[in-house]
Structures are given as structure tokens and as C-alpha cells.
């Protein structure tokens, strides 16, 4: 066992020593990766005309068409079979919206998105129609040992009202988890609703103060439908969420109901907290709510450009270069002066990097110096919605997963992050995320390319398992890593200044730095596409060494 690992390490050292000298061809064809060409692309992709490139909207469709035309102009092929357009991998993406939403208290109709809201994903196309002569108020909806707010109660066939969050018996706040998807988790609320579903409640009113002053982004999302990816798991989860009618109500409606039993939200919370005892009570006020949803397919596509390798023995192996071309669209606030979230850095910069590299590799092939392995240049959509485009590709790969040797992902490579502002090396660094997670060899190769060509500081901060931002899980490379494919995510670390705001504009991009980071990605890709062997995967998904 030790001899095997020693030999592998020696082989890696030999292969890396062979690339210590600059490759003249790589240097020559990298010249088109420059700040002028970068500006040419990004000034279009991040313009106001593209309206923030939100998935499923006009701006994203415009960006997809632009990227496709660039791939065509370079001479890349569209590799998607059985598609109306071989450059587009159409996602199974749809939007759910409410075709009906009614809620009344004691015969008085309430206003949607002001007094209450119903999430489209919680309603099936057949809908529901709930009527009850009374409500069971069960506080926080807890049913644990020593504090059971349903003790002595049969919730079957009843409408139950509970607080959205909180546990007056908790000794410490629940730990926070990172990652894009974890951020949207309903946590304990999901368990509370599941209890009511399992016990055949008729419906639930969830008290949430956020309804009172609704975030414009939430309001916009509820008005314009709830988009989702039609994977088997998501459809299954959605079906299970549609099992119990849920109405989210504001404090005004809740207090109206509680007033009939001579209390209010503040008093009832204080009473429960002080006594550490449930305050479950029946409210004899009739309520009625009904809803139906309708599903509409939404256009969304990954854009793929393919460069076939020159070596008959290696061209079936695929290197993937990714970025996401979508952003978050227009500002929801109608009073905003700047209404476009341009997404110049996030991730117009990474998409620009992919276009620059695609052009450079295509020029190399035309000159008879093309890569031995094939390269798939893929700009994905739906990253801002939860890594949807890369998830779809991971479940519907155009090329076999076992033939995919690595993914190099550029997501935000055009600016200087907060930690480097004002520092001497502020314009000469990049965060390298995940490069050693699955393959020691890939990480060392990237370091060798940097030492040979670009000489930037490679910052591995976000590889720390204790990273509170959980950056490793928050871009499209992760959907390749989940499949055991080695990855590197190049990133500038901008998390505060203009992040997901209209201020993320082209005039704030450092194009010299964008080009330099794209150069590092290009040289790493050049070596991966031309070396004798693909990078060895010597680690498990959790970073522990593989054993033979």
C-alpha cells in the first residue's frame, strides 16, 4: 500500500516537472485573452439592455443567443443531440403560479400579498377548498417531550394556527448552515407542518410578521410564479409539500383572531415564554381558504460549445470549462433609481472568461495546435436559482460522466474582494476553491501553471471545512464534484460591495485582473487537455484519502 502511494507521488512529481518551462504555443494563443476582448464581451452581457439576465426572462434569452453566436463564430460545434438547436441544452424548467387564491375570516375577504400569501409550490393544479367553523391555536406547534402543544387535542379535520418560528423551551439558537440551498431551508417549520399533515389536519395558518412589510423580492416572486426544475426529486418533494393547505398570515390577521379570546400576539408569546407551558386554545371564528395552481413551461437553456480533440486516443475524454451567465434580473422596488442588477462581476466576468478561452483554443485548433482532449465550453443558466443549470447537466450529461476529466469553473473573476482591498497584492490574487478536494494532482498542476505563467497568490481560504460562507457548495462546479469529477472554482471573493446589487457594473471591473485570472484557467486547461494522463482522483467527497 505505501509503495503504491509513493510511486503515485513520484509519477505526479515527474509529470509536473515536465511543464516547468513555458509552452510557446500556449503563450501564443493566450494573447487573445486580453482586457480589450474582455471589455467587448462584458459591455454587452452586463448592459442595461440585457436586464440583469434573470433565468426564464428576456435578458437571459438574449445572453444565451449572444454566447451561442460567439461559439459559432469561433468555429465551435453544438453538441446537443435531439435538440432544435444543438448549442442549447433545454432545461426542464417551469413556473407555478396561482390561478386562484382566496382567504376569508368570519366572511371578510383578506387581501393577498398584504394580509396573507399562499406559495404556489404548496398548491396542486386540482387545488383545495377549506372551510372551518373554528381554529385551533397551538402556539409554536411543538409536540416534544415536556412541551406538547397538542396534548389532549385531535387535529384531524381542523384548521390549526401556529407561529412560523421559535421555540420557547430552547436553551440556545439553532446552528446556522451554509450553502445556497441550505439558506432556503424551512427547518423546524417543515417538521411542524409534517406533524399536522401526518395527523390529518385540514389546513394550517402560519403566523409570519414578514407578511406585514413584505420584501419586494418575495412579493415579486409570488406575483410572477414559483419557478422550479423538473427533476424527479424536486417533483417528489413538491408533491409532498402539496399535501396540506398552508396560508401564511400577517400579524394583523393573527391579532384579529386572537382578540376573540381576549389576547394578542405579544401577550400570548410572553405568557408561553414565562410559564414554559402551552397555551393552546380554540378560537370560534369561521375561516375559509381556497387555491389552485397552474404550471407554465419556461424557456431556460445551458449554452454549449464543443471543440473536438485532435488525438484519436484521447479525444473521447472531456474537459469542461463552466461559468453561469444568468444573474438576478431587475430590481423589484418600483422606486429604485437604478432598476438593473447588471451582474458584471457575478457572473458576467466568468462568462467573459469562458468566451475568451473558447476563442483562444479555437484559434489554436485552426492553426493545427488544437488540444488532444476535447473541451466543452458550457455557460449555464439558473445558478442564482439554486445551481439549476449545472444540476440539470449533471443529471442529463451530453457526454458520459466517466469521460469527464475535470471542471474548471469561473464565477466572479473581475473585481477585488473585501479582504484584498488596499493591500499590496490586491490586483494579483485569486481564490482557488476545491482544487485539492478530490485530486491532489489537479491542485498541484494548477499551482505549477501559476508558478510558470501567472504568478498570482492562490488563496485557499474557502477550502476550510469551517468556512461560514460555505463557498465550495455555492457555484456550479459543485454539481460536477458530487459526481466525483475533480474541480477548481476560481473566484474573487467579492461578497459585500455591490454583490447582488445594481452597483455591480462594468465600470467597476478590473479587466487586467479578469484577463490574468482567465489566463491561469486557460493554462491549467491547456495542460489538462494535452498531458498524457487525466488527473488522478485520490480523495473521497469528504476530502479523506481513497483506499485501494
Residue 304's DSSP bridge partners are 378
Q: 318, 373 in Cβ contact below 8 A?
A: yes
Is it true that the peptide bond before 347 is cis, omega within 30 degrees of 0?
Answer: yes
4 compared with 518, residue with greater pLDDT: 518
pLDDT of 180 above 50: no
What pLDDT sits at residue 456? 98
| Distance between CA atoms of residues 526 and 534, nearest Å | 12
Tallying the residues shown for the chain, one arrives at 548
- List of E strands, 133-245: 135-137, 143-144, 147-148, 159-163, 203-207, 226-229
Mean pLDDT of 60-83: 97
Helix (H, G, I), strand (E, B) or coil at 339: coil
Closest CA to 349 of 504, 500, 528, 479: 504
| Distance between CA atoms of residues 398 and 224, nearest Å | 31
Mean pLDDT of 512-539: 98
What pLDDT sits at residue 8? 39
| Distance between CA atoms of residues 398 and 101, nearest Å | 41
What pLDDT sits at residue 315? 98
What pLDDT sits at residue 181? 37
pLDDT of 217 above 90: no
What pLDDT sits at residue 323? 98
Mean pLDDT of the chain: 91
What pLDDT sits at residue 241? 63
Q: 205, 161 in Cβ contact below 8 A?
A: yes
- Please report which confidence band the pLDDT of residue 240 belongs to, taking 50, 70 and 90 as the band edges: low
Closest CA to 445 of 487, 403, 493: 487
What pLDDT sits at residue 548? 67
The share of the chain scoring above pLDDT 90, in percent, equals 81
Closest CA to 316 of 79, 55, 484: 79
Q: In sequence order, which ranges of 260-375 are alpha helices (DSSP H)?
A: 265-275, 350-366
176 compared with 225, residue with greater pLDDT: 225
pLDDT of 542 above 80: no
Among 150-154, 164-168, 376-380, 490-494, the minimum mean pLDDT is found in 164-168
Query: What's the pLDDT tens digit per position in 292-321?
Result: 999 999 999 999 999 999 999 999 999 999
- Please report which confidence band the pLDDT of residue 20 belongs to, taking 50, 70 and 90 as the band edges: low
| Distance between CA atoms of residues 249 and 203, nearest Å | 13
pLDDT of 14 above 50: no
Closest CA to 437 of 472, 466, 471: 472
In the chain, the domains with their CATH numbers are: 18-91+300-530 (3.40.630.10), 95-296 (3.50.30.30)
CA separation (Å) from 122 to 18, 234, 293, 514? 58, 13, 9, 43
Mean pLDDT of 45-72: 98
Query: What's the pLDDT tens digit per position in 116-149?
Result: 999 998 898 899 999 999 999 999 999 998 999 9
Query: What's the pLDDT tens digit per position in 277-293?
Result: 999 999 999 999 999 99
Query: What's the pLDDT tens digit per position in 404-442?
Result: 999 999 999 999 999 999 998 899 999 999 999 999 999
Helix (H) or strand (E) holding 432: strand 429-433
pTM > 0.75: yes
Q: What angle do CA 407, 411, 416 make, to 5 degrees?
A: 135
Q: In sequence order, which ranges of 137-250 are alpha helices (DSSP H)?
A: 180-183, 188-198, 216-223, 232-241
pLDDT of 9 above 70: no
Closest CA to 341 of 68, 56, 59, 94: 59
What pLDDT sits at residue 84? 94
412 compared with 542, residue with greater pLDDT: 412
Amino acid at each position: 500500500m505505501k509503495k503504491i502511494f509513493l510511486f503515485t507521488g513520484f509519477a505526479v512529481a515527474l509529470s509536473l516537472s515536465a511543464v516547468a518551462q513555458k509552452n510557446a504555443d500556449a503563450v501564443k494563443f493566450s494573447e487573445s485573452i486580453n482586457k480589450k476582448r474582455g471589455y467587448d464581451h462584458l459591455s454587452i452581457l452586463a448592459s442595461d439592455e440585457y436586464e440583469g439576465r434573470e433565468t426564464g426572462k428576456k435578458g437571459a434569452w438574449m445572453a444565451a443567443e449572444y454566447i451561442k453566436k460567439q461559439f459559432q463564430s469561433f468555429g465551435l460545434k453544438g453538441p446537443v443531440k435531439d435538440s432544435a438547436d444543438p448549442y442549447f441544452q433545454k432545461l426542464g424548467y417551469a413556473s407555478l403560479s396561482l390561478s386562484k387564491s382566496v382567504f376569508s375570516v368570519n366572511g371578510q375577504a383578506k387581501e393577498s400579498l398584504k394580509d396573507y400569501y399562499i406559495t404556489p409550490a404548496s398548491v396542486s393544479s386540482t387545488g383545495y377548498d377549506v372551510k372551518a367553523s373554528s381554529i385551533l391555536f397551538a402556539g409554536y406547534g411543538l409536540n416534544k417531550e415536556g412541551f406538547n402543544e397538542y396534548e389532549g387535542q385531535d387535529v384531524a379535520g381542523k384548521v390549526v394556527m401556529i407561529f412560523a418560528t421559535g421555540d420557547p423551551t430552547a436553551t440556545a439558537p439553532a446552528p446556522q448552515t451554509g450553502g445556497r440551498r441550505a439558506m432556503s431551508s424551512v427547518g423546524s417549520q417543515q417538521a411542524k407542518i409534517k406533524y399536522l399533515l401526518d395527523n390529518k389536519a385540514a389546513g394550517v395558518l402560519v403566523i409570519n410578521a414578514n407578511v406585514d412589510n413584505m420584501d419586494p423580492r418575495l412579493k415579486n416572486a409570488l406575483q410572477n410564479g414559483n419557478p422550479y426544475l423538473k427533476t424527479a426529486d424536486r417533483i417528489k418533494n413538491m408533491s409532498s409539500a402539496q399535501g396540506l393547505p398552508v396560508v401564511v398570515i400577517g400579524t394583523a390577521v393573527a391579532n384579529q383572531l386572537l382578540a376573540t379570546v381576549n389576547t394578542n400576539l405579544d401577550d400570548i408569546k410572553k405568557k408561553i415564554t414565562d410559564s414554559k407551558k402551552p397555551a393552546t386554545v380554540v378560537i370560534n371564528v369561521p375561516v375559509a381558504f381556497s387555491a389552485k395552481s397552474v404550471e407554465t413551461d419556461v424557456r431556460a437553456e445551458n449554452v454549449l460549445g464543443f471543440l473536438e480533440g485532435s488525438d484519436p486516443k484521447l479525444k473521447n475524454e472531456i474537459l469542461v470549462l463552466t461559468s453561469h451567465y444568468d444573474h438576478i434580473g431587475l430590481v423589484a422596488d418600483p422606486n429604485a433609481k437604478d432598476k438593473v442588477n447588471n451582474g458584471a462581476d457575478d457572473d458576467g466576468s466568468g462568462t467573459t472568461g469562458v468566451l475568451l478561452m473558447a476563442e483562444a483554443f479555437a484559434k489554436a485548433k485552426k492553426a493545427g495546435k488544437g488540444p488532444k482532449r476535447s473541451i466543452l465550453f458550457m455557460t449555464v443558466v439558473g445558478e442564482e436559482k439554486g445551481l439549476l443549470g449545472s444540476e440539470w447537466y449533471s443529471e442529463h450529461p451530453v457526454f458520459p460522466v466517466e469521460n469527464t476529466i475535470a471542471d474548471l469553473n469561473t464565477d466572479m473573476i473581475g473585481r477585488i474582494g473585501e479582504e484584498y482591498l488596499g493591500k499590496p497584492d490586491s490586483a494579483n490574487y485569486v481564490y482557488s476553491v476545491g482544487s485539492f478536494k478530490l485530486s491532489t494532482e489537479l491542485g498541484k498542476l494548477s499551482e505549477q501553471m501559476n508558478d510558470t505563467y501567472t504568478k498570482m497568490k492562490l488563496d485557499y481560504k474557502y477550502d476550510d471545512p469551517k468556512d461560514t460562507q460555505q463557498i465550495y457548495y455555492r457555484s456550479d462546479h459543485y454539481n460536477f464534484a458530487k459526481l466525483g469529477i475533480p474541480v477548481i472554482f476560481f473566484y474573487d471573493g467579492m461578497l459585500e460591495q455591490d454583490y447582488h446589487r445594481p452597483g455591480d457594473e462594468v465600470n467597476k471591473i478590473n479587466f487586467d485582473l479578469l484577463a490574468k485570472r482567465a489566463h491561469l484557467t486557460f493554462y491549467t486547461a491547456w495542460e489538462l487537455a494535452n498531458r498524457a494522463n487525466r488527473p488522478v482522483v485520490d480523495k473521497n467527497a469528504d476530502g479523506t484519502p481513497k483506499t485501494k
